[in-house]
Amino acid sequence: MKNPSDITPPAPPTPPAPPILNLRNLSKRFGAVTALHPISLSIRKGEIFGLLGSNGAGKTTMIGMILGLITPTTGEIRLLGCDMTKNSRAKALARVNFQSPYVELPKRLTLRENLNVFGKLYGVPNLRDRIGELEEEIGLHHFLDRPFGSLSAGQRSIAGLAKALLNKPEILFLDEPTASLDPDMAARAREILMNYRARENASVFLASHNMREVEEMCSDVLLLHQGEIAARGDPRGLITRAGASSLEELFIQIARDPARLESPPRRQAVR
């Protein structure tokens, strides 16, 4: 029999990374319309979080509230330790970035000029070198010195991604980043994102309609339906629980039959 003192104690489990985004009871009403019912969630460092939902489900509203573009009706938002409903949000905003189809870059400025402007806004050190790095990593050679307005929809998405990565954000908010890209470009954009995330241990908050993309990239998924949580969990688990063959099938099931919601509306508490 072994002396208890000879037994090597098992290594303590690695503590989970601390959350870098915490939402508590976040909701939004526009007049009589409830765009988002109270939602609580948190995202940890290095996590890729997928936000799914049909048009008007509340995805853009949620991202807008987190980033301070929309004032929440209720709730708290803590991003990188800063209360985003207070004036301290500028400190957090310097460490994040985002891309959205609702926001564009000035069309008459070249992409290089746009990156110069945003680089100075974000206080990017050695800006010229950073733009050079992005030119290499993302493949901006062909359109870096062309006006943003003259770029194709796909090139604009890639340019928006370059702007979003400019300040090496700790958390990246992406609203439909591959919506206007052909399959090859979309794969390239995903590769860029995954490489960036692996290199910088950054978190990604990804709102998308592309179920395959979310299934492939995200470790945690939230499915919104008419402003409420329809399902939440890791993609494989969600698919198995629903008896579906893919996220897309689950999405369609919920869109056509909201009674399949995982838990009663307005009473969902997540994590």
Point out which residues bind another protein (CB under 8 A): 28, 30, 35, 60-61, 64, 67-71, 90-91, 93-94, 96-98, 100, 102-109, 113, 116-118, 120-123, 163
Question: What are the residues facing 171 on neighbouring strands?
Answer: 96, 203
2 CB burial (10 A radius; 0-12, 13-18, 19+): exposed
Coil/strand/helix, residue 124: coil
CB of 94 to another protein, least distance (A): 4
CA distances from 76 to 6, 39, 48 (A): 49, 10, 21
Give whichever of 171 and 221 is closer to another protein, judged by the CB atom. 171
CB of 75 to another protein, least distance (A): 14
CB of 143 to another protein, least distance (A): 16
Phi, psi of 38 (to 5 degrees): -55, 125
CB of 150 to another protein, least distance (A): 13
What one-letter code names the amino acid at 134? L
Give whichever of 88 and 219 is closer to another protein, judged by the CB atom. 88
Give whichever of 82 and 244 is closer to another protein, judged by the CB atom. 82
Give whichever of 20 and 239 is closer to another protein, judged by the CB atom. 20
Contact partners, residue 140, CB within 8 Å, separation at least 6: 111, 134, 158, 159, 162
